[in-house]
Structure 1
Amino acid sequence: MLHISNNVTLGDWEVEISQIRAQGAGGQNVNKVASAVHLRFDIQRSSLPRLYKDRLLRMSDQRISKDGVIIIKAQRFRTLEQNREDALERLRELIQEAGRPVKKRKPTRPTLASKRRRLEKKIQRGRTKALRGPVRSD
């Protein structure tokens, strides 16, 4: 494994990225495997605003680990530079997604039909329980 650490600016923020490059093991896709990029981005150590860090930590994305590290894997292209740019672009999109305001859903009132269905289910459960009879312990 070859580790490369460097700082990159994404928009207005400076981001420390450690790039992990796996060496090719041979076989048909030697070039593809040799140019694979695993981008490791530590949310806590970055210079992102507190709001972005909190939203990123609360996002349900499989690329974000519990300890606040984002790992993005890229190996679609043949060259290391192309894969690196692809991984940076996906990281940029993830950060932009965290910056979008959360839309709050307006609470809706239950309709008459849904109230009626709920009542019917409740009555049916009561009837079923009444049919069971008392529980005996012998």
Structure 2
Amino acid sequence: MLVIDTRLSLPLSEIEVVAIRAQGAGGQNIHKTASAVHLRFDVLRSSLPDEVKQRLLARADRRLSKDGVVVIKAQQFRSLDQNRDAALERLAELIRGAARVPRVRKATKPTLASKRRRVDDKTRRGRIKTLRGSVDD
């Protein structure tokens, strides 16, 4: 089980983890071993609550495909196990962000004092600008 938070967890059977070769420079052995990880998680077929799914799909995240599949590539470490753990933690962090219910913004009106300050500032700036005019002799 991948534990997201105290009340939310995912079975590992819903997450597809594939070992791939890491990119970039490396030693002699790095060209023969598959130490990077490609993680795929289908949001629509998952056991996540519907409201978490909707918030996750609504995010503008480049790791989320049009089909609703989260793709995470982890190749930071030289070890396959460490990369797998890093990819799972990044997925958990992404789901944690979608599980948080956003606060509803309450519309407020500007106070009378702030309106007066704004108008006073505008008139003061206008007066300064008129004094910048050309001097007639």
| TM-score with structure 1 setting the length | 0.66
Change (3 A) 1:68 1:114: farther
CA contact (8 A) 2:35 2:78 kept: yes
Count of residue pairs the alignment pairs up? 111
SS in 2 for 1:31: helix
Structure 1 equivalent of residue 59 of structure 2: 59
Structure 1 unaligned runs (5+)? 1-8, 117-138
Cα deviation digits, residues 75-116 of structure 1 (max 9, x gap):
110111100000000101111111111111121224526986
In the aligned structure 2, how far is the partner of 1:56 from the partner of 1:115? Answer: 41
Structure 2 equivalent of residue 23 of structure 1: 21
Larger RCO: 1 or 2 (CA < 8 Å, sep 6+): 2
Structure 2 unaligned runs (5+)? 4-8, 120-137
Task: Note the aligned Cα RMSD (angstroms).
Answer: 2.9
CA contact (8 A) 2:22 2:75 kept: no
Structure 1 equivalent of residue 130 of structure 2: none
Is residue 5 of structure 2 the alignment partner of residue 13 of structure 1? Answer: no
Superposed counterparts of 1:1-138, under 5 Å? 9-11=1-3, 12-15=9-12, 16-23=14-21, 28=26, 31=30, 34-110=34-110, 111-112=114-115
In the aligned structure 1, how far is the partner of 2:115 from the partner of 2:50? Answer: 45
Bigger Cα displacement from structure 2, 43-52 vs 104-113: 104-113
